Amino acid sequence: MRDDLMEVLCCPMCKGELKLDVKKRDPKEVLEGTLTCKRCATTFPIEDGIPNLLPPDERD
């Protein structure tokens, strides 16, 4: 996930602002980490550079 996506992403549950926590990155993008909503506290994983913004009950 590129860092500039943070400017346009919001929580799909409540439209709140997301906080990025990076666990692994390369020079161009975040490879692993989490996005956490500052309003409703829902967390969304980032795996292989792809944020999973599905509601928690609809994830694999």
Q: Which of 31, 30, 53 has the alpha carbon at shortest distance from 42?
A: 53
How far apart, in whole angstroms, are the C-alpha atoms of residue 39 and residue 3? 21
Q: Is the pLDDT of residue 17 over 90?
A: yes
Q: Is the pLDDT of residue 15 over 90?
A: yes
How far apart, in whole angstroms, are the C-alpha atoms of residue 24 and residue 14? 27
| Mean pLDDT for the chain overall | 96
User: How many beta carbons lie within 10 A of that of residue 58, not counting itself?
Assistant: 7
Q: Is the pLDDT of residue 60 over 90?
A: no
Average pLDDT over residues 12-22: 97
**Residue 1, amino acid:** M
- Tokens 């996506």 belong to residue: 5
